[in-house]
Amino acid sequence: MAQTISETGISEYAAPTTLAEAAELMADGNATVVAGGTDLMVQIEAGRRHYKDRLVNIRRVADMRGIEIVDDTVRIGALTTVTEVLNDPLLAEVAPVLRETANRFASSQLRNMATLGGNICNASPAGDTIIPMLLLDAEVALTSWQGAPRSRYVPLADFFTGPSKTVIEDTEILSEIRFAKPKPGFEARFRKSGPRPALEISTVSAGFGAVVGADGLSGVRIALGAVAPVPYRARKTEAFLEGKALSAEVVEEAAGIAAGEVTPIDDVRSTAWYRTHLVRIFVRRLLNPETA
């Protein structure tokens, strides 16, 4: 077996069961957090991350689970697994795009293990579950210990600072994701490159959300994955579409603006050309689902 277990320097291990316990364990900034483990194990093996002195297994923190609506705010515990998102009846009703995305995530085994919080913190530019959450204007709760657990809320759109980089501090845990229950008329859709239905680091992923009214779109959100250093809000495209009614010309122009505002790279998976090509196609299809 090839797992490297050498001088990792872990000198403490804890598996807290409450958010307060977990936050307190993070207070000195000397802890590595593990939830599902789907990213951490891989990153450690690859040498991209190293353990701090304390390994904190937060998977058993009961108050980081659960999905509920409180005062028109949808609250999802950060430990919610992708499988739970896929199967949850509440989310199926209020934000079906999350379920659509969960259905395109990795594999059955990884869906069972991976948590929404973990996926967000891993901050992959291609992070699939992040795209729909951007469409929903989600915020994340970052909880730290200040005599008691205290949370600050950061809009997801402001959370990412670079590939695998976020604003989260060493003393913080991402404990919850929340978003306002979408307004009536809100539609959201997600697309991802294939040909595999799921087990694929996206060459390009794309999401569209807006309130579709009689005179046009409002609250337009276009989110793109794997075409920028972070999961990307295509703000120029959004601005263009805001208030407009969808016609063939508008769709085509929007697709063109989206293709123009992204900065994809060539890498082992794909090229800038193809990624830009797909952005145009996906935005077109997201705006005009009959053509999909």
Residues lying near another protein in the complex (CB under 8 A): 1-13, 15, 34, 36-38, 41-42, 44-45, 51, 55, 57, 59, 83, 106-110, 112-113, 193-199, 201, 203, 268-271, 273-274, 277-278, 281, 291
Alpha-carbon distance 272 to 186, whole Å? 32
Nearest-approach distance from CB 259 to another protein, in angstroms: 13
CB closer to another protein out of 122 and 218: 122
Instruction: Name which of 46 and 70 has its Cβ closer to another protein.
Output: 46
- Asked whether the beta carbons of 208 and 189 are under 8 A apart, the reply is yes
Pairing status of strand 54-57 against strand 217-225: unpaired
Closest to another protein by CB, 112 vs 218, is 112
Work out how close the CB of 134 gets to another protein at its nearest, in angstroms, rounded to a whole number. 22
Residue 8 CB, nearest approach to another protein (Å): 5
| Euclidean distance between CA atoms 239 and 242, whole angstroms | 5
Nearest approach in angstroms of CB 72 to another protein is 32
Q: In angstroms, rounded to a whole number, what is the distance separating the alpha carbons of residues 256 and 62?
A: 46
DSSP state of 88: -
**In terms of CB distance, is 41 or 239 closer to another protein?**
41
Beta bridge partners of 166: 160
Distance of closest approach, residue 255 Cβ to another protein, in angstroms: 11
Tell me which residue has tokens 């193809």.
274
In contact, 291 and 246? CB cutoff 8 Å: no
Q: What angle do CA 254, 274, 212 make, to 5 degrees?
A: 25
Which among 136, 155, 67, 141 is positioned nearest to 95, based on CA atoms?
A: 136
Residue with Cβ nearer another protein (30 or 218) = 30
DSSP string, 156-167: GGGTEEETTEES
User: Distance between CA atoms of 197 and 188, rounded to whole angstroms?
Assistant: 19
Residue 132: CB minimum distance to another protein, A:
19
- Which of 1, 70 has the CB closer to another protein? 1
